[in-house]
Structure formats: C-alpha cells, structure tokens
Amino acid sequence: MTPGTMAVRTVDPGNPEEASRWDAFVESMESASFYHKMDWLRVIRDSFSHDVHPLATTDGDGRILGILPLVHIRSRIFSNALISLPFLNYGGVLATTPAAAATLNEEARGLMKKLGCSFVELRHVKGHGLGDRTRSHKVTMTVPLSTDTAALWKSVASNARTKIRKAQKSGLTVSSGREELLDGFYDVFARNMRDLGTPVYSKGFFHNILRAFPENTRVFTVAHEGKPVASGLAVWFRGFFEVPWASSLKEWRVSCPNYLLSWETMRHAAENGFTEFDFGRSTPGSGPYAYKKQWGTKEIPLNWEYCLDGAGGIPEHNPQNSRYALAIRIWQCLPMPVTRLIGPHIVRNIP
C-alpha cells in the first residue's frame, strides 16, 4: 500500500473483466498510445514466451489511476531487463496524476530488484521525470493529414514525387488486405532483414497482431506481376495511422516500390479521416531518417527513461554498436532458410 489510498497490483491479462477495465482506462486517456492496450502484452507473451507484468495503481474504490505494461526480457547475451514495451515504438507509464505515475515507477523498481534485472526501460514520448537517466537519441517522424490529398501530394518533396511516378509507370500494383497477404509480406520482410544483417521476427508474431486487432490492422503490398516486392503492416488508433513494419526488396530498388508503398498508405490514411501519419522512430542522420524527411515530416524527440540497478549503464543494442559488426556481416551471408529458422530465437531477446 502506497501513501494515501493508492495501491499497486499486477493485472491478470487472462481475466476478461480485468483486461476490459484496463482497456477502458486506456481509452479514457488522451495521452494513451495504441500499444498500451492489453492485447499487446498478450501478443508479446504468446509470440516470444516472455513473462509480462501489467501493473495498475488504483484508489480506495478500485478505480484505475495509472497503468504500466512491462515485459521481462531475460538473456545471457543481451539484457536482463523490464521494458515497456519491447519490439514496439511506444509504451511506458500512463497515469492520471504524477503521484500515480511515481507509484507505478517505484513498483517497477521493486520488481526490477526482485527479478534481478539490470534496468527498467520506459519508452515515453514526453518524459515523466521518473528515471535515473533519460535518452533522447531517437525521434518519431509524423505527417499531419487532411482529406485534401492534392495538398498532401504537394507537401511531399519533388524528388519523392518523381520516384512515386516512376514506380507507378513500372508496372507495380498496390493491394491491401489481411491474413491473405501475410505470406507475401513476410517473404519481403524476412529477405530485407537478412540483407540488413538483422535477425527476423517469426511470422507468428505478425499473425498474432492481425488476429488480436482485426479492426486496427491491415497489410499493404506492392507487387509486380503478382510477386510482392514491398510490403508493410499498418496499425491505427484514434487519429494516428502507423506502419511500424515495412520492407522492400533491394533488387527492385531502381523501381522505387518503397516510395509507392509509403504514398499509398499515406493516401489511404488521409482519405479515411486519419489526422496523423506516423513513420515511426528513427535515429537522426541515419538512412531511414533521410528517407522519412522527404515526406514533409515533423520530428518529435522521444524520451526513453531508465531506472538502473546501480551496477551498469544504459544498454546499446543497436546495429551501430561496433561489437555487433562481425555478427551483422556473417548474418548477411546466411541462406534465407537458415535466417528464418534461427532468427526468431535470437531476436526475441533483442528488444
């Protein structure tokens, strides 16, 4: 029991009534992200076999005042940590008051010590002042939308518009759907991840996302004569439309299918009344950052807050870390069947 009448407990994600109360709280909060929904914890648990800890603080009448979805990542090679949320762009504390947020943070620190974790990572957009350290090394990049797609077209850099037209003249077609397009999406995604030197998620992860959110997800695919050459999985929540996972085949780069994919998903979002298109997080100065800048994006700094156990610093699990350079080069040379077989067992521990 915390000072006053607040208490913190772990919510049972398998209890429909408790999950419903959790999601009702998320819907009531203007600052909530789509990833605060309880089903995301279930997707991560079922896809990666990680333990999940949905923390909620309540008042004396049992009303939820704040939530913190946490996932425990345990790895001998990478980190032993609590993260909100791994594999996704956003997460962290969602609370009605600073006191409720602080209560959740203290509970997370206690859980960190109990589980022997090195740190807690809270993926906030706006910082809450809860961590021992904060990193603002990444930005999210968004485009404001309106139903006036002609104005949207003009907001795109002329170089990008040229590449969209080139793709349209290259015999490329665009379709959208759900599970029926998943195999094609995954073939492109897995190939692209191998070429980047990054282990790939299992197809089951994306299948679980589509199944958990039938009203908030869709696959968009660019194809040539029926063969997928670029594809993305889109999610949306309230006015925000996001494509967190998108890839294209490097041998088709000259035809610019990635530009056609970005334009068609953005146009779809605008025509369906969404007010913001989210390109997702990027590191300033990187290739993906430069690509996204062409679309008239605005940058919003992300504030990832860390509670540390005092024994170590903030982890550096990213491709720019020199300790992974050799592993990346080796991975890029592996046959596709091998990367699809062993990749999911590795990437489950790289949040």
Domain ranges of the chain: 7-135+303-315, 139-301
Residue 160 pLDDT > 70, yes or no? yes
* pLDDT at res. 61: 86
**Segment 146-162 mean pLDDT:** 93
* pLDDT at res. 312: 62
C-alpha atoms less than 13 angstroms from C-alpha of 184 in its C-beta half-sphere: 21
* pLDDT at res. 75: 83
* pLDDT at res. 10: 94
E strand intervals along the chain = 7-10, 51-58, 64-73, 81-84, 94-95, 119-124, 133-135, 139-144, 172-177, 217-224, 227-237, 240-248, 276-282, 298-301, 303-308
**Segment 133-146 mean pLDDT:** 92
Indicate the DSSP class of residue 202.
Answer: P
* pLDDT at res. 313: 67
Kindly report the number of other CB atoms within 10 A of residue 66's CB atom: 25
Distance of alpha carbon 310 from alpha carbon 119, whole angstroms: 9
**Segment 48-70 mean pLDDT:** 95
The model's pLDDT over 235-264, given as tens digits with 9 standing for 90+, comes to: 999 999 999 999 999 999 999 999 999 999
**Model confidence band, residue 56 (pLDDT cutoffs 50, 70, 90):** very high
The model's pLDDT over 301-325, given as tens digits with 9 standing for 90+, comes to: 999 999 998 766 676 656 555 566 7
User: Quick one: 139-301 is in which CATH superfamily?
Assistant: Gcn5-related N-acetyltransferase (GNAT) (3.40.630.30)
**Model confidence band, residue 151 (pLDDT cutoffs 50, 70, 90):** very high
How do strand 81-84 and strand 119-124 relate by DSSP bridges? parallel
Residue 1 pLDDT > 70, yes or no? no
Indicate the DSSP class of residue 2.
Answer: -
First and final CA of the chain: distance in angstroms?
A: 32
**Model confidence band, residue 326 (pLDDT cutoffs 50, 70, 90):** confident
- Return the CATH fold of 7-135+303-315: Aminopeptidase (3.40.630)
pTM for this entry: 0.92
How do strand 217-224 and strand 227-237 relate by DSSP bridges? antiparallel
Residue 207 pLDDT > 80, yes or no? yes
Residue 2 pLDDT > 60, yes or no? no
Residue 125 pLDDT > 60, yes or no? yes
Distance of alpha carbon 82 from alpha carbon 291, whole angstroms: 32
**Which backbone phi and psi does 113 adopt, to 5 degrees?**
-70, -40
**Model confidence band, residue 128 (pLDDT cutoffs 50, 70, 90):** confident
313: left (phi over 0), alpha (psi -120 to 50) or beta: beta
Mean pLDDT, rounded, of the chain: 92
**Model confidence band, residue 6 (pLDDT cutoffs 50, 70, 90):** confident
Same fold flag, 7-135+303-315 and 139-301: yes
Indicate the DSSP class of residue 152.
Answer: H
Please say whether the beta carbons of 139 and 133 come within 8 A: no
Residue 199 pLDDT > 60, yes or no? yes
